[in-house]
Structure 1
Amino acid sequence: MHHDRTSALGGTYADPASATARIRFRRALTLAAMTLVMPGSAQLVQGNKRVGRIAIRIWLAVLAVLVIGLALAMMDRQFVFSLATNAALLSLGRWLLVALAIGWVALIVDAWRLGRPRELARQHLAISTAFHAALVVGTAAVLFFASHTVSVMNGFTDTVFASNTVSKPHDGRYNVLLMGTDSGKDRSGMRPDSINVASIDAETGKAVLIGLPRNLENVPFPKGSPMRQEFPNGFDCDGCYLNAVNTWANDHADLFDSKEPGIDATMDAVETITGLKLNYYALVNMKGFSKLIDAVGGVEINVRERTAIGGIGSPIRGYIEAGEQKLSGDKALWYARSRVENDDWSRMGRQKCVMNAMVRQLNPQKVITNMQDIATSSSAMLHTSIPRQDLSVFMDLALKTKSQPISSVSLVPPVIYTGNPDYDKVRRLVSDAVGSSEAREEVQKSALVTAKLPPIEVGGEATKKDPRKANRSADLDASC
């Protein structure tokens, strides 16, 4: 039987049953789309209006919070960071996201019911059900992932930023001691392989990275410190270098009224060496740093010199060749710590190259997509005195620092002889570098301060043997 009828204009009318089926199908998809765009709108139009009104109000409240958050971020980014790192707000936000996910999924399922699936044609029912299922899975996945991210961030900040002592800027700058160490069963005590001070302008984020040789001798200590009482003429015992202060103090913990005598003694020494008052410290386990680099997919570095892999208590098992490369965590670690065929001065420059590259290349997308791996590796890698209350300050400063050149100064031959350092000169060099960083017109010059420092008359043994090597190391430090 032929159901089409000829119209007065010679056209045909479609089968009424088919037209009705298409209308029902479009209605089912429309209700789903409405629920995706504005949860509760489908119920307000065709279901339980009370539920619809409640859902829409909640949705509008969420949108209002997001708009207010964006407005605040434009006006006061640091305030938004402080809210985003608040433990109570993060805990509340986590469970609100879970509740939002469950409620939204329930509304999508109800929208499928309101589409009258029993009245749909078989093909339309399959498409509608698949579409609703995709919305359920997508919505739940996004919101549950967001909840998981909040939970990971809350746990990470609780674990790493556990200190409660807040330190205000000194002369408008935050000075943070950065130490890198390799932990292992074959090492007696913890001797930092990398010692740097990051001096950051509290307003602009302009940073100066000061590299301290681990083998500085006759390290001075401030008056009144237990180390000064034991070593009034400087740290002058056999094998007593800057990186051994931590081990010595920990081995004589009874002399200190401190939970972390080694770190406190090292901070005292670095303050006396540089003339900078330190706010905080951050101790990085280099093996954890390697895992962090792997977590973000490697780090791109301009390798300035062929660098050996291995060779410290084991055979050399390969090389990192010069040139632009993307290094894995293991290779980046060896590039930062190897000194088999180079020297300590070259290594100091390479360490700063790696840190600088990480600052430049970490971005929100990498952090979000690798949140769990970053948090896991960072928790094992980082031990710091920066409190949670100041985390928002350093997050804001990190974004400011990222957009600016980082100045650097290394206290290496021929500028400073580590066997008999002129600490008055060290403090002058540090003061000049910080002053240059603060002067806007001198920012680019200060980025090359290491390469342009004049040589001193009394050189170290390495300088006497091959002065070009020391100069090359300074150039490496400045040009990476």
Structure 2
Amino acid sequence: MSGSPGFAAILSLLLPGLGQMYRGRWVRGALMIVLPIFTVLLAGAFVAIADPLTSFVLRNAAAVTFLVASAFFMYHLFVVADAFAGKLRDIGSLRGRHVVDYLVLGVVCIALAAFYAAAYRGSAPWAGLASKVFAPLANPPLVGTTAGGQEPSPPEWTGTERLNVLLLGIDSRDDASTTKNTDTMIVLSLDPVNKTAAMLSIPRDVYIDRPGVFTDKINAAYAYGGYDLARKVVEDLLGIRLNAYALVDFDAFTKIVDSVGGVVIDVKRPVRDESYPTPDYGIERLDITAGPQLMDGQTALRFARSR
């Protein structure tokens, strides 16, 4: 077996499977690189399309994060050990291996453990927050009406429970052709006890299939049934209760920004939009330079709308 076992372990630390390729096992190395990528893509796609599984993952995000981090750590550790050991017939043999190789292997294993511990520690707070936000309710809301035909009213906030607010951004220009779709839908969840907040943006193209109640993209719910329907659809989708909402159109967005003296935004990359829509449904060119800058209401609106 050619190549240094210690250096092979280092290479597989940097990229699982690279050490195997370095020692001449190209097929095995390629499979070890592809396997975790394929697994992540497959699992992500399955979670995205399976509603019950999505809810389970969100409500148990802390435990799922720990299990995923542990699984990747064990896999990465196996790949490093495999790169160090070489072919099966070489396992247990000291031939070709020096003390320095074993020292390198030990350092690599420690570095690997430290990396995954840091990754888990960094993601654990966000996972814990997701678990709290999407915790199952004793009486989960359902799209529709109560047994008596009355619409359930939003729960009264006690001042200590998590406060969930639905933020809606709507195009409500004075024109008959305006759809009134809420192209921005964000759930803001506030924890008054721990003084933390979380925001979840709902993609506007999420399709809701509730025959007899609402069957369309979620951003059309407000246009069809106002806030009541939008609230019920979002509650049913996420399994949470909404306490309040805020609806902002273009004009309100501009006035809010101007009322606080503008907003400072650090534009990461220059924005150039050759077909920015104008109020009269024409187009114009929009140029915003990169870097921190104070934007007034109109500029901030243009920056937010430009895609």
TM range (shorter): 0.3 to 0.5
* Superposition TM-score, scaled by structure 1 size: 0.29
**Larger gyration radius, structure 1 or structure 2:** 1
* Structure with a larger share of its residues in strand: 2
Question: More relative contact order in 1 or in 2 (CA 8 Å, sep 6+)?
Answer: 1
* Superposition TM-score, scaled by structure 2 size: 0.44
